[in-house]
């Protein structure tokens, strides 16, 4: 299966969640078992030799492939969620994104200084959410942070906002 096959399975929804946004809907791709398996295998092949100790998924679509790659790598999964969704004591970061302001949190006991983490989300646009995630994860003093996206919107230059852009990877580019 080619990346073009995966790309064609991603549905575009204009003006969602607000006018002017072209939402890339991955549900049409991941509802196909062969495509879901291919995405998981490609991610596994890319990260299997990086020493990853935890996979972090960004709420909510980052949980899907994040959970799959954590299982394939044999490591734990840590969620980053919107404020108020986690039950124990958390650390948080407030940030701006394309269409508003938000706040994300992690449990304060999620990571340690010995961790090498892979952060996954479905889409990289301007990078606001991932900049916030990077700041949040750095509070734990982890060794290395890798970032993976199923989709990257190249015209928005979100990759340029990372402290370590060489650790950013995207499978599909629009």
In the annotation, is 61 catalytic?
Answer: yes
173 three-state secondary structure? strand
Let me know how long the chain is. 174
- The active-site residue out of 61, 105, 134, 159 is 61
Q: What is the DSSP string of 63-102?
A: HHHHHHHHHHHT-EEEEEEETT--SS-EEEEEEEETTEEE
Cα separation, 35 vs 29, whole angstroms = 6
Q: Which of 42, 59, 71, 98 is catalytic?
A: 98
Annotated catalytic residue 101? no
Among candidate residues 106, 108, 99, 66, the one with its CA nearest the CA of residue 83: 106
Would you name the residues annotated as active-site residues?
A: 61, 98
């Amino acid at each position: 299966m080619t990346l073009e096959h995966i790309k064609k399975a991603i549905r575009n929804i204009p003006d969602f969640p607000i006018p002017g946004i072209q939402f890339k809907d991955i549900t049409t791709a991941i509802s196909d078992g062969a495509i879901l398996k291919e995405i998981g295998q490609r991610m596994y092949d890319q990260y299997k030799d990086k020493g990853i100790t935890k996979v972090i998924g960004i709420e909510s679509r980052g949980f899907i492939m994040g959970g799959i790659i954590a299982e394939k790598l044999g490591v734990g999964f840590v969620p980053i969620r919107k404020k108020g969704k986690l039950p124990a004591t958390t650390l948080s970061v407030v940030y701006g994104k394309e269409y508003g302001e938000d706040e994300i949190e992690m449990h304060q006991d999620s990571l340690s200084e010995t961790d090498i983490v892979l952060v996954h989300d479905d889409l990289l646009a301007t990078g606001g959410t991932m900049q916030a995630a990077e700041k949040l994860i750095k509070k734990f003093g982890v060794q290395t942070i890798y970032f993976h996206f199923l989709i990257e919107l190249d015209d928005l230059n979100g990759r340029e906002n990372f402290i370590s852009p060489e650790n950013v990877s995207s499978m599909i580019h629009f």
